[in-house]
Amino acid sequence: MNFVDLIKENYIVAIIRGIEKKDIIPVAEALYKGGIKLVEVTMNTDGAVEMISMLNKKFGKELYIGAGTVLDVAEAEKAIAAGAKYFVTPNVDEEIIRYALEHNIGILPGVMTPTEVVQAYKAGAKIVKVFPTSILGSSYIKELQGPLSHIPMVAVGGVRPENVIDFIKAGAVGIGVGGSLIDKAAIASSNFESITKKAELLLRKIREATI
């Protein structure tokens, strides 16, 4: 299954950022129990490369593991060496897009404007990440989908159980969720079950929107 179809089938990309290495396995396990299959570790997390490697060893068959906040090819190379199956970027970087395509790696570039959406698509990206939707809102996705409905879009930034249905109904084929799902306070108290419950709730809401 290709990267776009994986997102369309599973809807959620869990964004793991700024957690400690000791917590990466229990967090990933909690996400998996909640039904999430796509997980990205952001490259600006201390020990990100090692965490990606750890996840591959533990969950290589259960989870589709990627690298987020990939800002240059040097980071992309490190991520691939650790076993990353896809890259997520906060911006449109045509060099990273080309590198991903050359290495048969999924690529989800960050876009904001219609110009960036088309730029990323023409560079070879088959799907884009509209960011930050915490500011843009679900109606922005709907407006973009008007002239650009042939380009699948993932909403990232500020997506929560209360508004996830709005984003899906606006045309987003998936969502990226970080802080509202991977609660640092819950991790600090080893309450990983709450992460599982949040994942289940998000998926339940999405299914309601797609019935």
184 counts as catalytic = no
Cα–Cα distance for residue pair 53/115, rounded to 1 Å: 35
Cα–Cα distance for residue pair 55/68, rounded to 1 Å: 14
Cα–Cα distance for residue pair 53/89, rounded to 1 Å: 19
37 counts as catalytic = no
From the candidates 37, 85, 129, 198, give the one annotated as an active-site residue: 129
Secondary structure class of 12 (helix, strand, coil): strand
Q: How far is CA 126 from CA 23, 51, 97, in A?
A: 33, 27, 10
From the candidates 40, 75, 85, 198, give the one annotated as an active-site residue: 40
Output the DSSP codes for 133-150.
HHHH-HHHHHHHHHHHTT
Which residues are identified as catalytic?
A: 40, 129
